[in-house]
Structure 1
């Protein structure tokens, strides 16, 4: 099963050093039965894009958490796409995140298929979205608009052999 794991550049660097994404359990996003039922007209590619988008939203929250912990995280959303056995994944979807899954084990970097990262053009909007998250969570419509503005940027696709260049 293809799973999209939210990440940040510092977390990706730690994963490369350790050889795996972890520790477990991990929250990821995938084509779940709840997502398929909700978006019945979508083909597999469209459903995977929805899962990737939900992972990108979670990456934004990880950026905010890193910043709150004093980690210098560049304002770029990161999503790691990995292929894991179906048995390693359990659906935990809810109405807001129909693609959310839980992985019981860390994911070896050898299972990573690609990495998706914001282009440098998105930095200002991602920075603004991270700053607006608390107000957006509090119901501020203008802040939600700012957070949604980060989603206007498509994540760039990178092959696994390009990961060192991303981290340089």
Structure 2
């Protein structure tokens, strides 16, 4: 099953060096029954995109929690054996699930990362994260603005170069 793990560049660097994503449990996003029911007319590609979008939004929360991390959303796409919750605990349209395993780096299929041009938009969203969670309309708008930024695709062999370039940039924090 393809799952999308929200991350940050700081967490991605640690996972790349550790050879795994963890510790367990990990919040992941995938095409769950609740998502499939919500987007009943969507094809598999649209459903995967919707799951990845939810992971990208969760990445903003991770960025908000770590003021020292670069202000670029990161989503790690992995192939794992996962079973979405079947106990009715998810809301209609929710792609979230919990993985009770550490994900080995070999399960990573690709990484999706904001371009450097998105830093200001993501920084504003991260700064607004708590207010958005409290329902502030302006903060929700700032968070929703991230959805207008495309995530770039990186193959697994490109990740070390991405991380090296990010480390040398030093200006990716807004």
TM-score (norm 2): 0.89
The list of structure 1 runs, each at least 4 consecutive aligned residues, that deviate by more than 3 angstroms after superposition, is: none
Q: Is the 8 A contact 2:26 2:101 kept in 1?
A: yes
Question: Which of 85, 98, 105 pairs up with 2:101?
Answer: 105
Residue of structure 1 equivalent to 2:144: 148
Tell me the SS of whatever aligns to 2:72: coil
**Residue correspondence of structure 1 range 1-168 to structure 2 within 5 A:** 1-67=1-67, 72-86=68-82, 89-91=83-85, 94-95=90-91, 98-168=94-164
How far 1:138 moved relative to its partner?
Answer: 2.0
Q: What is the alpha-carbon distance in structure 2 between the residues aligned to residue 96 and residue 142 of structure 1?
A: 25
Paired residue secondary structure (1:139): coil
Q: Secondary structure at the match of 1:48?
A: helix
Cα 1:129/1:123, change in 2 over 3 Å: same
Partner Cα distance (1:74, 1:152) in 2 = 19
Deviation of 1:5 after TM superposition, in Å, equals 0.3
How many residues align? The count is 162
CA distance in 2, matches of 1:15, 1:154: 23
Report deviation, 1:91.
Answer: 2.6
* Structure 2 gap segments, 5+ residues each: 165-174
8 Å CA contact retained: 2:4, 2:52: yes
- The answer to whether the 8 Å contact 2:2/2:79 transfers is yes
* Counterparts of 1:34 and 1:143, CA distance in 2: 27
Question: How far 1:90 moved relative to its partner?
Answer: 3.5
Q: Distance in 2 between matches of 1:82 and 1:104?
A: 14
Indicate the larger mover: 89-98 or 124-133. 89-98
